[in-house]
Chain A
Amino acid sequence: MIYILCLIFFMVGLYGVLVKKNIIKIVLGLIIMEYAVNLFLIMLGYREGGVAPIISEGDSITEFIKHSVDPLPQALVLTSIVIGLGVIALMVAICIRLYEKYGTFDITEMRRLKG
Chain B
Amino acid sequence: MNMIPLFVAVPLAGAFIIPMLSRKFKWFPDVLGNLVTLALVIMSFAVIGKSGVYSMGAWKAPIGIVMVLDGLSVLLLVSINVIAFASTLYSIKYMEQYTSKLRYYSLFLLMLAGMNGVVLSGDMFNLFVFLEIASVASYALVGFGCEHEELEASFKYLVLGTVASTFILLGIGMTYGSIGSLNMAQISEQISQNGMNNALLFAIALFIMGFGLKAALVPFHAWLPDAHPSAPAPISSMLSGVLIKALGIYTLVRFLFNVVGVDERLLMILMVLGALSMVIGVMLAFGQWDFKRLLAYHSISQVGYIILGIGLGTPLGILGGLFHLINHSAFKSLLFLNAGAVEYSTGTRDLQELGGIREKMPVTANTSLVASMSIAGIPPFNGFWSKLIIIIACVQAGRPVFAALAVFASILTLASFLKVQKYVFFEKLKEKWNDLREVPALMSLPMVLLALLCIVMGVLLLPIGNTGVLENINILEPAVKVIMDGTDYASKILGM
Quick check: do A and B touch in the complex, using CB within 8 A?
yes
Pairs A–B under 8 Å by Cβ, sample size 7: A10-B166, A37-B173, A83-B136, A87-B162, A91-B155, A94-B154, A101-B151
Chain A residues lying within 8 Å of B263, measured Cβ to Cβ, are: none
Quick one: given A72-B182, A86-B136, are A94 and B158 in contact (CB under 8 Å)?
A: yes
Chain A residues near B132 (CB-CB < 8 A):
83, 87
Distance to closest chain A CB from B210 (angstroms): 12
Asked whether B129 lies within 8 Å of A110 as measured between CB atoms, the reply is no
- Which residues of B have CB within 8 Å of A79? 125, 129
Q: Which of B125, B149, B165 contacts A113 (CB 8 A)?
A: B149
Are B176 and A33 in contact, CB atoms less than 8 angstroms apart? no
A113 to B142, CA, bound (A): 14
Extra inter-chain contacts (9) besides given A34-B162, A90-B139, CB under 8 Å: A41-B173, A83-B136, A87-B162, A97-B151, A98-B152, A101-B148, A102-B148, A113-B226, A115-B288
Cα–Cα distance between A33 and B165 once the two chains are bound (Å): 10
Q: Does B57 contact A (CB under 8 A)?
A: no
Residue of B nearest to A35 (CB): B166
CB-nearest residue of chain A relative to B199?
A: A3
Q: Measuring CB to CB, which residues of chain A are less than 8 angstroms from any residue of chain B?
A: 10, 14, 17, 23, 26, 30, 33-34, 37, 40-41, 44, 72-73, 76, 79-80, 83, 86-87, 90-91, 94-95, 97-98, 101-102, 110, 112-113, 115
- Which of B152, B169, B176, B226 contacts A80, CB < 8 Å? B169
Q: Which of A14, A37, A102, A115 contacts B225 (CB 8 A)?
A: A115
Task: Say whether B176 contacts A26, CB under 8 Å.
Answer: no
Query: Which B residues form the contact surface with A (CB < 8 A)?
Result: 125, 129, 132, 136, 139-140, 143, 146-149, 151-156, 158-159, 162-163, 165-166, 169-170, 172-173, 176-177, 182, 225-226, 230, 284, 287-288, 293
State the 4 A-B residue pairs at the shortest beta-carbon distance, nearest first: A83-B132, A44-B177, A33-B166, A41-B173
Given A44-B177, A90-B139, A94-B158, A110 and B152 contact (CB-CB distance below 8 Å)? yes
Are A40 and B151 touching (Cβ within 8 A)? no
Set of chain B residues within 8 Å of A10, measured between Cβ atoms: 166, 170
A90 near B155 with CB under 8 A, answer no
Contact present for B155 and A95 (CB under 8 Å): yes
Once A34-B166, A113-B149, A113-B226 are accepted as A-B contacts, the answer to whether A94 and B176 lie under 8 Å apart by CB is no
- Contact present for B176 and A44 (CB under 8 Å): yes
A80 to B165, CA, bound (A): 10
Cα(A34)–Cα(B166), bound, Å: 6
- Give the chain B neighbours of A110 by CB distance below 8 A: 148, 152
A94 touching B169, Cβ below 8 Å = no
Contact B170 A40 (CB under 8 A): yes
Chain B residue contacts of A73, Cβ below 8 A: 173, 176
- Nearest CB in chain A to that of B171: its residue: A37
A71 to chain B: closest CB distance in Å?
A: 12
A37 touching B136 in the complex, CB below 8 Å, given contacts A26-B159, A72-B182, A94-B155: no
Using Cβ atoms and an 8 Å threshold, which residues of chain B touch A101? 147-148, 151
Chain A residues, Cβ within 8 Å of B159: 17, 26, 30, 91
From A26, A37, A91, A95, B166 is in contact (CB under 8 Å) with A37
Task: Name B129's closest neighbour in chain A (CB-CB).
Answer: A79
**Chain B: minimal CB distance from A40 (Å):** 5
Bound-state CA distance A97–B163 (Å) is: 21
Instruction: Considering the complex, give the chain A residue whose CB is closest to the CB of B178.
Output: A44
By beta carbon, the residue of chain A nearest B162 is: A30
In the complex, A2→B136 CA distance in Å? 32
State whether A97 touches B125 (Cβ < 8 A).
Answer: no
Q: How far is A95 from B159 in the complex, measured between Cα atoms in Å?
A: 11
CA distance A112 to B147 in the complex (A): 11
Q: How far is the CA of A115 from the CA of B136 in the complex (A)?
A: 25
**A97 and B139 within 8 A (CB):** no
Contact residues in A for B158 (Cβ distance below 8 Å): 87, 90-91, 94
**Are B155 and A98 in contact, CB atoms less than 8 angstroms apart?**
yes
Least CB distance from A3 to B in Å reads: 9
Q: Which residue of B lies closest to A107 (CB)?
A: B155
Q: Is the CB–CB distance between A44 and B173 below 8 Å? A: yes
Q: Please tell me if the beta carbons of B173 and A112 are within 8 angstroms of each other in the complex.
A: no
